[in-house]
């Protein structure tokens, strides 16, 4: 990755949608392990569209030394860009929110596997539909020369 900010989706990429207290307790070490795999020059920004994560989630992200943007309203980039510099990559589990955000910003999108088998039906359905829609969207955009 080039030097810059990597945006990492929180929900279902790093933390299950319905986290247990143990999941939240393991969040800081899990984030630290992810950050350790990146080049040292990269800053990690953790995002979520959820506004009301428990305070322990925000505390764990701060403990890992990362920036947290709650209520990011992905895929629209305005709120994210107001809180951070321009990212160099987006990592997430949802093509429709995370993937479209990456496309709008013109940066690579890394589709991450769901981090938990306890994923509710609605994010699983959203991912399946999102993968189909995004394939068509990227194909059209690529044909038009607008996106990678």
Pairwise CA distance, residues 124 & 33, whole Å: 25
| Residue pair 134/100 in contact by the 8 Å Cβ criterion | yes
How would residue 7 be classed by pLDDT, with cut points 50, 70 and 90? very high
Burial grade of 67 (CB within 10 A; 0-12, 13-18, 19 or more): middle
Strand, coil or helix: what is 46?
strand
Per DSSP, what are the bridge partners of residue 43? 5
Burial grade of 114 (CB within 10 A; 0-12, 13-18, 19 or more): middle
Average pLDDT of 64-93? Answer: 88
- Tell me: the pLDDT tens digits for 80-98? 888 888 888 999 999 989 9
Q: What are 95's two structure tokens? A: 């093509």
Q: What are 48's two structure tokens? A: 């979520």
Pairwise CA distance, residues 62 & 68, whole Å: 8
- Tell me: the pLDDT tens digits for 112-123? 988 888 888 988
| pTM recorded for the entire structure | 0.84
Q: What are 78's two structure tokens? A: 């305005």
Task: Name the residue among 42, 122, 143 with its Cα closest to residue 89.
Answer: 42
Task: Name the residue among 52, 119, 47, 111 with its Cα closest to residue 76.
Answer: 47
């Amino acid at each position: 990755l080039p030097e810059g900010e990597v945006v990492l989706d929180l929900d279902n990429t790093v933390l299950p949608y319905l986290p247990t207290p143990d999941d939240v307790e393991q969040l800081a070490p899990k984030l630290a392990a992810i950050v350790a795999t990146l080049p040292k020059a990269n800053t990690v920004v953790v995002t979520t569209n959820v506004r009301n994560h428990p305070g322990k989630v925000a505390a764990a992200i701060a403990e890992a030394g990362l920036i947290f943007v709650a209520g990011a309203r992905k895929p629209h980039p305005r709120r994210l860009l107001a809180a951070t510099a321009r990212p160099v990559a987006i990592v997430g589990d949802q093509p429709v929110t995370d993937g479209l955000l990456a496309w709008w910003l013109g940066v690579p999108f890394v589709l991450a596997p769901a981090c938990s088998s306890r994923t509710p039906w609605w994010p699983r359905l959203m991912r399946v539909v999102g993968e189909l829609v995004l394939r068509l969207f990227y194909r059209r955009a690529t044909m038009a020369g607008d996106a990678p």
